[in-house]
């Protein structure tokens, strides 16, 4: 049911009153160099010593609008309900004309309107909750979230080197976000409800029986 619900959202035409947003979060290790890398020279790449220092972790939040080819990133120290609530509040503010946002996300315990009540007064939390319509990916089916494709691009294009502090990581991630938004890079999703029914037909039969 969750799978078909998410796929159905992907097949719907763009609706400016109810934009589709894919949201996800990813823990990220902060790793610093022990020795200063040797800068690159003509004909030679930068040289980095094998030894490194762990400086803890942080959490990267991303929201991706596949119709607009737009995404926003926030780097936070933690991934608590309050961090989630503030990220979602900022997301809602970016769509002032929308009645509500259709949000595809993983079914984590922090990913609910209940988190808003942890961060804001009840009146504000109630109004913020009305700005979202949640669509959850199935258990072990987070690959259905387009935001994971964005994280794959972020990891390969930006986080593929040692970054030792959260301030630098946020700066680099935001620069990547800006470049990708300017290019209006998006995802051409190919997996439909029809293909899902063909591929997983034996599972559908089990559910039916």
pLDDT at 20 over 60: yes
| CB within 8 Å of 200: residues ≥ 6 apart | none
pLDDT of residue 139: 87
Name the pTM for this structure.
Answer: 0.86
Does domain 15-38+47-187 fall into CATH 3.10.20.90?
no
Query: Assign residue 37 a region: left if phi > 0, alpha if psi is -120 to 50, beta otherwise?
Result: beta
Residue 209 has pLDDT above 50, yes or no: no
Query: How many C-alpha atoms does 102 have within 13 Å on its Cβ side?
Result: 21
Return all residues near 153 (Cβ < 8 A) that are at least 6 apart: 180, 185
Sheet holding 52-65, edge to edge: 70-76, 52-65, 20-33, 101-105, 132-136
Dihedral, CA of residue 60, residue 65, residue 66 and residue 67, to nearest 10: -170
What is the rounded distance in angstroms from the CA atom of residue 34 to the CA atom of residue 8? 49
pLDDT tens string 149-188 = 999 999 999 888 888 899 999 999 999 999 999 999 999 9
Share of the chain above pLDDT 90, in %: 71
* pLDDT band at residue 38 using 50, 70 and 90 as cut-offs: low
């Amino acid at each position: 049911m969750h799978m078909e619900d998410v796929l159905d959202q992907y097949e719907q035409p763009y609706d400016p009153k109810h934009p589709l947003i894919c949201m996800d979060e990813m823990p990220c290790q902060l790793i610093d160099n022990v020795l200063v890398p040797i800068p690159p020279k003509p004909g030679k790449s930068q040289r980095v010593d094998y030894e490194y220092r762990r400086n803890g972790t942080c959490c990267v939040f991303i929201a991706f609008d596949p119709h607009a080819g737009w995404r926003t990133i926030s780097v936070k120290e933690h991934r608590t309900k309050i961090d989630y609530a503030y990220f979602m509040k900022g997301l809602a503010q970016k769509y002032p004309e929308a009645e509500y946002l259709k949000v595809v996300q993983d079914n984590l315990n922090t990913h609910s309107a209940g988190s808003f009540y942890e961060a804001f007064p009840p009146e504000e939390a109630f109004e913020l909750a009305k700005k979202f319509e949640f669509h959850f990916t199935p258990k072990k089916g987070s690959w259905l979230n387009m935001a994971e494709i964005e994280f794959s691009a972020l990891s390969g294009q930006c986080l593929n080197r040692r970054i030792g502090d959260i301030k630098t990581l946020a700066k680099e991630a935001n620069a990547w976000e800006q470049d990708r938004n300017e290019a209006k890079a998006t995802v051409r999703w190919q997996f439909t409800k029809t293909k899902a029914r063909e591929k997983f037909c034996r599972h559908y039969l089990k559910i039916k029986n």
